Structure 1
Amino acid sequence: MPELPRPEAMTIRNHVVPRLRDAGWSEHTWRQEYPITGEPRTVVQGRVRRDRPMRADFALLHAGHPICVVECKSSIKDVRDGVQQARRYAQKLDVPLAYATNGDEIIEIDMRRQTERHVARFRSPDEVWDYYREASELASDLAIRFFTTPYSRDAQDMRGNPKLPRYYQHVALQRTLRRIAAGDRKLLLVMATGTGKTALAAQLVYVLWKNHWPRGARHQEPRPRVLYLTDRDVLVTQPLRDYFRPMFGDGEDGPVTRIRGNVSKAKNLYFALYQALDAGGEERSALFEEFERDFFDLVIVDECHRGSASASSSWREVLDHFKTAVKLGMTATPVQEGDRDTIGYFGAPIYTYSLRDGIADGFLAPFEVIRARLDRDIDGVDIPEGTVDRAGQLVPAGTYGLAQFERTLVLPERTREVARYLTEYLRRTGEAQKMIIFCVDQEHAARMREELVNLNSDLMRRYNGRWVVRITSNERDRVELLDDFQREDSPTPVVAVTSQLLSTGVDVPTVRTIVLFRRIESMVEFKQIIGRGTRLAPDSGKEYFTIIDFTGATRKFEDPNFDGPPVRVRDVDGTEPQENVPEPLEVDDEPELAEPEPEYEQQDAGELPPDGGEPGHDEVVRDPDAIDDITRRSRKHVVDGYDVHLVGEQLYIMDAVDGGLRPVRLERWVRQRAQALGQGPAELLEQWATVRGRRELRELLGDALLFDVDELSVRLHQPDCDPIDLLLYLAWDWPLMSRRERVARFTAREREYLDGLSPEARQVLTTILDKYAAHGIDDLSTSALRTAPLSERGSVLEIARVFGGAEQLHEAIDDLGRRLFRAG
């Protein structure tokens, strides 16, 4: 008698596990259902769809870390069915060896040599470990000690669970440790905002700490000395609070300290702002020079695309001073512009984890884009000769476009119209959902805040005056406001209006909406701003976010370099041009009607001096908001009397295209996904016509479109049209008709059919048609019988007797549907 098919779980239990044991593996050296990704999410129409997380059937471990994966299939399947899956897992986990098996056969996949071969057995733990060491170039005892050191479990999340590295953080960590063990001095990690660069850095230091790198346990200074360097206060306080102090201890006797204007050489882990280290004076040298050049073993540069990224920056001197230290740069956005060359300094990234990777893996929030148009941004504003502004100053005549708004020409009604739109949006989607609005400068941010206050005085009262606030460098309480805005358990502020202070390095997991109300020239800045919304906060109900774009900045999503590596482009004469930015909203902006801005050294600090006071008159202006104030205040004209109106909006879905994230307009999304079903319009109409077919088709379309097909009428502002007609209109360019038009065509074509019915049956069915025309497709079913006027005829069973019984009633309604949807 032939053997019965074995399901996968039985195959694993009865065949795979015994063969692993025979090779010397055990429960201590493997982990079943090894988690790799989170739950990938897709958002369309404000609805989130979750996919299953990626898990390997087996991860074979050494010192708790994966060194091989095994993918299992049922014995009734071909063993080759698991090969591609095993390859995908091995690639993600950065392991050189993988297996696919159906219990009877085994295919060994060598990721290093790119070979696949049938084998009689699994390799033993020693054999796999030897091959892992060879393939991964763990050539020294130090490299092996690094690999076999367990990660710290002391940093915990809000639920009290240890914050252990995710798969990609583990890969980045191990690559970094291998390079340090090999003696490399400059390293670069490129990881999208929200993917845990800080957690990775803390675990890296922990492993080095446990191994007494670089001097060894017998040295009089057995622990590494590390400098964690950045240029914003929040990028220091968060790592200290969440990772380093829990891992290494707090208090005066602990090894962790922050440099605040004085030098103590009795610690090991130092945190500092460039501003503090660079602070010198007439009577003393810069603070960093009080440390010996070989004092630090490792310098970690967070957000390394800023600060010392420029070779001509005075802050580069800090890195150059500590010339013997290993320097690790971390950023989501390396730059290669002129003498700002992240890769030129740190070298090519040893690991890259992109925004697309994070979203696809379910670790970052997906997003949708709403592009809104203002008529004045499209058409421009003609200022005639003799026009004066509010201050009585003559305004230069000419045509002003998007490039000049809020910089040389201020139209108060423009900001007011956007405030109206955002008010309606928040009232519709949730008045307590956090939002960041990026304005042109601090003055623009102040006007936006004022307009929102006046439009939402009820919410200002309800939230004790903190529903909307401005968070810029001019606000004395900006640190307190930002801290409250960042906290998941703090309901206020809800709306933060800013210009540049929140554009980078600020972690606000619960932000649901990013509003772009200023042009963004730099791809680096654009990526950083988008990164403000990418963190997931499922415990707070945040699984996606929305970008509302008024200036066309999101055209940068269509740039092939958006989710790719930085590319230096040179003109034919060898010069490096400015970035070519597509004009927003298909409008050719007029040139600036003002003198060019003076050049300032702009180093994005955004911090007060260490004593908390105001900057002195002789200090270099580094804050971007302050620079904006200085360069723009004297040349703005505020002009009243020009109405501004919103002329349209379009929803875009972010989709994976050609290896990157690209915006796809909702209409095109529907067209592509509907046509991919493989059914033509006639087939879809036939299935939609019956109650059961409609139920099945709704489920099919929901899986394809990632939202309910019934929602098309809302998005396309066509409440009088049937969802199937809207689908056919978008996907196959069918003429669009309303439900009433469809019923009228039916009545004209099916007169003979209607006349052949009994008077009672005809009245019931024509009433159902009337209800369908008035209310929608759900009334093309027995549910219409439960509401007036049909409910006045009796119960559903009593009405069914008119048709000869319940079964005949259902068939009559389905027949009505078939005839209705054949009409047209």
Structure 2
Amino acid sequence: LYFGIYQTLWSPDKDGVRLFEQFPHDFFDLVIIDECHRSGFGTWREILDHFGSAIHLGMTATPKQDENIDTYAYFCAEEPEVEVDPEHPEQGTWRPPAYLYSLGQGIEDGFLATYKVHRVRTTVDASGLHLQDAIERGAEVFIPEEVEPREVYTTPQFEREITLPDRTRAMVKHLANLLRRFGPMDKTMVFCVDMEHARLVARLLQDEFGPETGLDNYAVPIISEEGEEGRRWLEDFSDSDKKAPVVATTAELLSTGVDVPSCRNIVFMKTLSSPLLFKQIIGRGSRLDPATDKYWFRIIDFTGASRLLDKWDRPPVPPPEPPKGPLTAVLTGHVFHAQTGDLIVGAAVSVRTGPNTQQGPIRTDEDGAFSFTGLPAGTVTLIVSYPGFARRQVRVTTIADKEVTADIALKPAREAGGKIRVQGLEVTIADEAIFLIEATGEQLSLSEYRDYTRQRVIKAAPTRRTLRDIWVNPARRRAFLADLRRASIHPEVLGEVLGKTEADAFDLLSHIAFGSSIRTRDDRAAAFRNREQAFIMSHGENARRVILELLDKYRVGGVEQIRPEVFQVSPFQEWGGATKISHWFGGTEELKEVLDEMQERIYPEAEVMV
């Protein structure tokens, strides 16, 4: 069994022989490539081709599929070809992986934390920023000399091309209110546009929470420029046993390779277009953490990044067909300075002919010329670069048995211009969608979600009495709750956003569906003790202790605590567990009858007869 990394395998010895070349072609029977979305291209492809007789098994959580690298095209070439969607054959075919394990399946199987989406838009994100309008409303606008302003700026340009401190403050203020509601000490990652933005967000959150928590490192920027202090902050943030830092802001550093199991909130203040990067970022929140009782996390989305969620578990589009036909086309040309016309010697030139296939890079000769032979006929991509110049990528159409010429002009690279800065805007929250219906990808506001929940509950239980009959039957209740969760209805989340975290789940659902009052578990436990004295006193002293302890378990955790498995935990375990406790009730069946009767009596039938 051999372990290696690409860089080591590619390194040559004193005679110029690379390490992988020192092994015979048939030395390995199986080559396993971890993070295989990085392979199948360039020098890595040469290593794999050297061991071409072996089975290549690629493993990745982030497969790529574009004109540059196609993980599917390389590793799935020998898999059976199937339709992308059997119900829509016009979508074509693809070769799926030998084994596919989706995020949704990982959540379903209990390996990953599930997620809830809380989407927020500011007024400026909803309508865009018209510079002239901002000036007319009295905002201060600073435009660097070298920048040509746009007429309208939208979310993707915010903090990249134009800095809006008032927008950032509005988002941070709203986030602070959410954190106070959800739990101000819950570990939170905030993904920002760049390092300057990350510093600003961290400072504003520190100003919000530093005084009230007494922590001078409540919110910290974890960015490359923070050096040793940043690395120390990251270690402390990743440690579930350390309460601070609570919030980490970053631009890129936390997107991959960081394990923070206790992270409960992933916040987007930057726009994303890549499902790959989005998946990597969300992975930071999907870790389970029994140590902090974390089994789900929130996505708090200010920039619409959560629109990428519905792409996770879809099969990819069919891979592009590689060029066919004879490899007889020729492509030649020159590379020159766009402003002076001088030929550029030593420019790097390569031709991409398809996913995972490329010729070059080669260098232009003393005349600034390049030449490629043995190319397929069709569209290829010519890639040209040279230090100090902007890289160019040009599509060229080649012709079989003929030479095509393409002369490439490179412009000198210039430093990015400064950002436009606008201050004095009035920015508020325009709308807020808290809930994602996972089956459809639809995002709903709280009022819309309540109406959606009401319809689903009434469909299963048309009356409050029917709902109570379902609820007091453990098997029917669990099936009912499982159906609700499959429909993205989670009573515990509803309780949180309604500010009723201590409410009984039955009462929450009954309130939403039928308008009944909301009772807390404390209310129901106290009512049980007062109303059911005859039931309690009908049992012996030890049995009464058990009933009252079960009632306290319900008060803390809900009706699902009243089940046989509860006797495996303290204090029941110390009392002898289910076996000994059952004797106090006259036997196992009698104990089970008491558990069922307690659930009936916590939700008395009389209260739904009114």
TM-score by length of 1: 0.43
1:636 correspondence with 2:365: no
Do the aligned partners of 1:367 and 1:654 also contact (CA within 8 Å) in 2? no
Give runs of aligned pairs for residues 291-302 of structure 1, distance below 5 A. Answer: 291-294=20-23, 297=28, 300-302=32-34
Of 214, 219, 225, the match for 1:468: 219
Which secondary structure does the structure 2 equivalent of 1:358 belong to? helix
1:486 correspondence with 2:238: yes
Residues in 2 aligned to 1:286 and 1:567: alpha-carbon distance in whole angstroms: 45
Letter in 2 for 1:568: P
Of 415, 418, 422, the match for 2:171: 418
The CA deviation at 1:366 is: 1.2
Query: CA 1:543 to 1:409, structure 2 compared with 1: closer, same or farther past 3 Å?
Result: same
Give runs of aligned pairs for residues 523-602 of structure 1, distance below 5 A. Answer: 523-559=275-311, 562-568=312-318
Give runs of aligned pairs for residues 755-774 of structure 1, distance below 5 A. Answer: none
The CA deviation at 1:389 is: 3.9
1:670 correspondence with 2:421: no
Structure 1 gaps of 5+ residues are 1-223, 230-273, 575-599, 602-616, 623-629, 740-771, 787-809, 820-824
Of 322, 329, 347, the match for 2:58: 329
Encode CA deviations 1:65-99: one digit per residue, 9 max, x unaligned.
Answer: xxxxxxxxxxxxxxxxxxxxxxxxxxxxxxxxxxx
Which secondary structure does the structure 1 equivalent of 2:116 belong to? strand
Do the aligned partners of 1:434 and 1:511 also contact (CA within 8 Å) in 2? yes
Over the aligned positions, Cα root-mean-square deviation in angstroms equals: 5.0
Of 36, 42, 67, the match for 1:338: 67
Residues in 1 aligned to 2:306 and 2:193: alpha-carbon distance in whole angstroms: 16
Cross-structure match for 1:452: 205
Which secondary structure does the structure 1 equivalent of 2:199 belong to? helix
Of 367, 371, 376, the match for 2:119: 371
Query: CA 1:530 to 1:286, structure 2 compared with 1: closer, same or farther past 3 Å?
Result: farther
Query: CA 1:352 to 1:704, structure 2 compared with 1: closer, same or farther past 3 Å?
Result: closer
Letter in 2 for 1:527: K
The CA deviation at 1:399 is: 1.8
Which secondary structure does the structure 2 equivalent of 1:547 belong to? strand
1:433 correspondence with 2:186: yes
Letter in 2 for 1:225: Y
Residues in 1 aligned to 2:189 and 2:175: alpha-carbon distance in whole angstroms: 11
Query: CA 1:649 to 1:294, structure 2 compared with 1: closer, same or farther past 3 Å?
Result: same
Cross-structure match for 1:305: 37
Do the aligned partners of 1:380 and 1:401 also contact (CA within 8 Å) in 2? yes
Give runs of aligned pairs for residues 257-336 of structure 1, distance below 5 A. Answer: 274=7, 289-294=18-23, 297=28, 300-306=32-38, 308=39, 311=41, 313=42, 316=45, 319=48, 327-336=56-65
Cross-structure match for 2:4: 227
The CA deviation at 1:557 is: 2.5
Which secondary structure does the structure 2 equivalent of 1:501 belong to? coil
1:500 correspondence with 2:257: no
Encode CA deviations 1:700-732: one digit per residue, 9 max, x unaligned.
Answer: 47666468869858746899xx9999968976x
Cross-structure match for 1:645: 428
The CA deviation at 1:346 is: 2.0
The CA deviation at 1:676 is: 4.0
Encode CA deviations 1:550-601: one digit per residue, 9 max, x unaligned.
Answer: 1122122234xx2133223769x99xxxxxxxxxxxxxxxxxxxxxxxxx99
Do the aligned partners of 1:299 and 1:325 also contact (CA within 8 Å) in 2? yes
Do the aligned partners of 2:143 and 2:419 also contact (CA within 8 Å) in 1? no
Give runs of aligned pairs for residues 778-793 of structure 1, distance below 5 A. Answer: none
Residues in 2 aligned to 1:777 and 1:226: alpha-carbon distance in whole angstroms: 56
Residues in 1 aligned to 2:264 and 2:4: alpha-carbon distance in whole angstroms: 34
Query: CA 1:816 to 1:333, structure 2 compared with 1: closer, same or farther past 3 Å?
Result: closer
Residues in 2 aligned to 1:288 and 1:475: alpha-carbon distance in whole angstroms: 41
Which secondary structure does the structure 1 equivalent of 2:37 belong to? coil
Give runs of aligned pairs for residues 45-444 of structure 1, distance below 5 A. Answer: 224-229=1-6, 274=7, 289-294=18-23, 297=28, 300-306=32-38, 308=39, 311=41, 313=42, 316=45, 319=48, 327-347=56-76, 348=79, 349-384=97-132, 389-390=141-142, 393=145, 396=149, 398-444=151-197
TM-score by length of 2: 0.56
Query: CA 1:640 to 1:368, structure 2 compared with 1: closer, same or farther past 3 Å?
Result: same
Cross-structure match for 2:358: none
Query: CA 1:458 to 1:637, structure 2 compared with 1: closer, same or farther past 3 Å?
Result: same
Query: CA 1:565 to 1:434, structure 2 compared with 1: closer, same or farther past 3 Å?
Result: same
Do the aligned partners of 1:513 and 1:545 also contact (CA within 8 Å) in 2? yes
The CA deviation at 1:474 is: 3.1
Which secondary structure does the structure 2 equivalent of 1:437 belong to? strand
The CA deviation at 1:484 is: 3.5
The CA deviation at 1:317 is: 5.0
Residues in 1 aligned to 2:106 and 2:45: alpha-carbon distance in whole angstroms: 31
Do the aligned partners of 1:442 and 1:472 also contact (CA within 8 Å) in 2? yes
Which secondary structure does the structure 2 equivalent of 1:427 belong to? helix
Query: CA 1:365 to 1:785, structure 2 compared with 1: closer, same or farther past 3 Å?
Result: closer
The CA deviation at 1:640 is: 0.7
Do the aligned partners of 1:674 and 1:704 also contact (CA within 8 Å) in 2? no
Residues in 2 aligned to 1:400 and 1:817: alpha-carbon distance in whole angstroms: 56
Letter in 2 for 1:452: L
Query: CA 1:663 to 1:332, structure 2 compared with 1: closer, same or farther past 3 Å?
Result: farther
Q: RCO (CA 8 Å, sep 6+): is it higher in 1 or 2?
A: 2
Do the aligned partners of 1:294 and 1:325 also contact (CA within 8 Å) in 2? no
Letter in 2 for 1:382: H
Letter in 1 for 2:4: L
The CA deviation at 1:304 is: 2.1
Residues in 2 aligned to 1:726 and 1:664: alpha-carbon distance in whole angstroms: 21
Give runs of aligned pairs for residues 717-756 of structure 1, distance below 5 A. Answer: none
The CA deviation at 1:511 is: 1.5
Residues in 2 aligned to 1:528 and 1:818: alpha-carbon distance in whole angstroms: 52
Do the aligned partners of 2:192 and 2:249 also contact (CA within 8 Å) in 1? yes
Which secondary structure does the structure 2 equivalent of 1:545 belong to? strand
Which secondary structure does the structure 1 equivalent of 2:423 belong to? coil
Alignment identity in percent?
35
Which secondary structure does the structure 2 equivalent of 1:554 belong to? helix
Do the aligned partners of 2:210 and 2:218 also contact (CA within 8 Å) in 1? no
Residues in 2 aligned to 1:697 and 1:439: alpha-carbon distance in whole angstroms: 48
Query: CA 1:543 to 1:717, structure 2 compared with 1: closer, same or farther past 3 Å?
Result: closer
Q: Number of paired residues?
A: 419
Residues in 1 aligned to 2:313 and 2:423: alpha-carbon distance in whole angstroms: 41
Letter in 2 for 1:521: S
Residues in 2 aligned to 1:474 and 1:278: alpha-carbon distance in whole angstroms: 31
Query: CA 1:324 to 1:469, structure 2 compared with 1: closer, same or farther past 3 Å?
Result: farther
Encode CA deviations 1:251-271: one digit per residue, 9 max, x unaligned.
Answer: xxxxxxxxxxxxxxxxxxxxx
Query: CA 1:320 to 1:367, structure 2 compared with 1: closer, same or farther past 3 Å?
Result: same
Residues in 2 aligned to 1:328 and 1:526: alpha-carbon distance in whole angstroms: 25
Do the aligned partners of 1:370 and 1:649 also contact (CA within 8 Å) in 2? yes
Residues in 2 aligned to 1:327 and 1:816: alpha-carbon distance in whole angstroms: 66
Residues in 1 aligned to 2:206 and 2:390: alpha-carbon distance in whole angstroms: 31
Cross-structure match for 2:543: none
Query: CA 1:663 to 1:501, structure 2 compared with 1: closer, same or farther past 3 Å?
Result: farther
Do the aligned partners of 1:472 and 1:499 also contact (CA within 8 Å) in 2? yes
The CA deviation at 1:423 is: 2.0
Do the aligned partners of 1:293 and 1:324 also contact (CA within 8 Å) in 2? no
Letter in 2 for 1:336: Q
The CA deviation at 1:637 is: 1.2
The CA deviation at 1:531 is: 1.8
Encode CA deviations 1:647-680: one digit per residue, 9 max, x unaligned.
Answer: 332222564x4xxx85664446514531441x32
Which secondary structure does the structure 1 equivalent of 2:306 belong to? helix
Letter in 2 for 1:412: P
